Every structure is written in structure tokens, then in C-alpha cells.
Amino acid sequence: MDLISKKAVIGKNVKICPTSIVHDNVVIGDNTIIESYCIIGLPSRNETRNPLIIGKNSHIRSHSVFYDNSEFERNLVTGHHVLVRDKITAGKYFQIGSYTELEGDSFFGEYVKLHSKVHLSLHSKIGHFSWFFPRVQFSADPLPPSRIELPITVGDMSVIATGSLILPGVTLGIGSFVAARSVVKDDVPDTHCVQGNPAKYFTRIDRLIDFKHKIKHPWPNHFRDEYPEESFPLMDELLIKIENIIKEKKE
């Protein structure tokens, strides 16, 4: 049995470890690495049989499973033991941490970073430059178990800190911040910072300061060098948008 389907479209200089399986309905871009014991393009139950498209310069680490019917732009990077279900669209430089599960039918913007053990529910919509720290959980079912899905939306350049739970139908605005171990059941307005269970407003993003280390948010003020130079125009555009929102609130 061939572990790499002859029907799969494999780009130039692609490295696939011998223990990984690549199914028929797969397109893998140039210079991509697939590490050991991965399953790429696992057939989903959807009637629509679109391919799994992995953009060039990607790196999928060992024991990861990707269903078909999704598209990831270039420079996708994963940790180990990642599960990614079908009907996902993601922009370039998408990072998925180890043991993270994406339930599918979701959209991710560019330069999104998910740390380890993140679980995101169906129909999530995630903006550019969003950060999800370890063990962030989404719950889109208002009365589990049911067939109801209330999607969760996260605005551009938002941060959700470690161990937080986002409940059904919540929208986090652009530049918002959720402190660690918070439970968010209500919408968070643009540039607001919330904390606690239930999460409540405690400051605005431009007032979130670590005096000991002399850094402040929005985070690109001190973390810009972690991103490729090609990301700077979009980053600056979003920062201007956040600054204008803050200015309007001050007035």
C-alpha cells in the first residue's frame, strides 16, 4: 500500500516522512515538511469534496491529523498531535500549537498564533494577528448537547490569555484583551480588557502596562520584531485603526 497517494499533488522540495499518510484529495506546496505519523487529507463526511491545500513553506509536525476540504496559505506551522477538521480557511503564517483541536468550518486571518491545547468550536471567525495562549477553550453550544451553534468571533489583534473560556455567541472586538482564567459570556467592545468569572471590564488596551518591565499594549509596541517584515503594513494599518477607536472613546 502506498502511504502517499499518487493522486496527491506534491510540490517541489517537499519532505514527507515515511510513516505519514497522504490521501488522494491533497495539494502540498513547495518546500513543505510533513513529519512522522501524520495523516494528511483524511476524508471528511461532507458531500463537497474539495482538496486539502497546504501552502508552500509549511511545516507540519509529528502525529498531526488534517482532514480534507480546507485551505491554508503559505508558512503554516504546527506543533505535535494537532487535530484540524474540515472546511477551514486560514491566512499565511498560521501557527497551531501542540495538542490543539480545531473543530472546522472556521476562518482564520493572517499571522494568527494558537499556543498548545487550544480548542476552538465550529464556525469560529478569528481576525488577523490574534493571540491564543495555552488551554484557551471555545464553547459554541448554549445547551450541550444540542444541535445549536452560536459562533464565536474574535477581532483583529486580540489576545486571549491562558486558561480562558469563551462562551457561545460572544464577539471580542478589535484589540481586545482577555486576562488569564477568565470566563467570557458577554461581548467585549473594541480595545477593552476584561478579567474574571464572569469577565468584567478593568481597563482599556492602551492603559495595560507592565511597569516593572516598562512595556505596554497594544503588544506590537514591544513585540514587533517577532514578525516578518512583510507583515508590517497590515500591522500598522490595524494599529492606526485601534488608535482611532481609542481617540474616539477619549473624545
Task: Identify whether 140 is part of a domain.
Answer: yes
pLDDT value for 248 = 87
Per-residue pLDDT reduced to its tens digit, 76-114: 999 999 999 999 999 999 999 999 999 989 999 999 999
Q: Which residue do the cell numbers 444541535 mark?
A: 147
Whether 3 is in a domain gets the answer no
pLDDT in tens, 149-161: 999 999 999 999 9
Residue 2 domain-assigned (yes or no)? no
pLDDT confidence tier of residue 208, bands split at 50, 70 and 90: very high
Residue 3, pLDDT above cutoff 70: yes
Mean pLDDT of the chain: 95
For residues 28 and 31, what is the distance between their CA atoms, to the nearest angstrom? 9
Among positive and negative, which fits the CA dihedral 37, 38, 40, 46? Answer: positive
pLDDT score recorded for residue 109: 98
pLDDT band at 9 (very low <50, low <70, confident <90, very high): very high
**pLDDT value of position 221:** 87
Total Cβ atoms within 10 A of residue 164: 24
The reply to whether 240 falls in a domain is: yes
Res. 236: pLDDT tops 90: yes
CATH of the domain at 83: 2.160.10.10
Give the range of the structural domain holding residue 30, as residue numbers without chain letter: 9-250
Question: What pLDDT score was predicted for residue 46?
Answer: 72
Q: Which of 102, 105, 106 is nearest to 45 (CA)?
A: 105
Q: How far apart are CA 222 and CA 227, in angstroms?
A: 12
Q: What is the pLDDT of residue 2?
A: 62
Write down the pLDDT at residue 47.
67
- The 10s digit of each residue's pLDDT in 186-197 is 999 999 999 999
Domain count, the chain: 1
32-49 pLDDT tens trace: 999 999 999 999 887 667
Cα gap 18→249, rounded to integer Å: 57
Q: How many CB atoms lie within 10 A of CB 169?
A: 16
CA atoms within 13 A on the CB side of 231: 21
Higher pLDDT, 221 or 115: 115
Provide the residue count of the chain.
Answer: 251
Query: What share of the chain in percent tops pLDDT 90?
Result: 90
The answer, yes or no, to whether residue 132 has pLDDT greater than 80, is yes
pLDDT at 16 over 60: yes
In this predicted structure, the answer to whether residue 224 has a pLDDT above a threshold of 60 is yes
* Structural domain contains residue 4: no
Residue 1 lies in a domain: no
pLDDT of amino acid 237: 97
Note whether residue 214 is domain-resident. yes
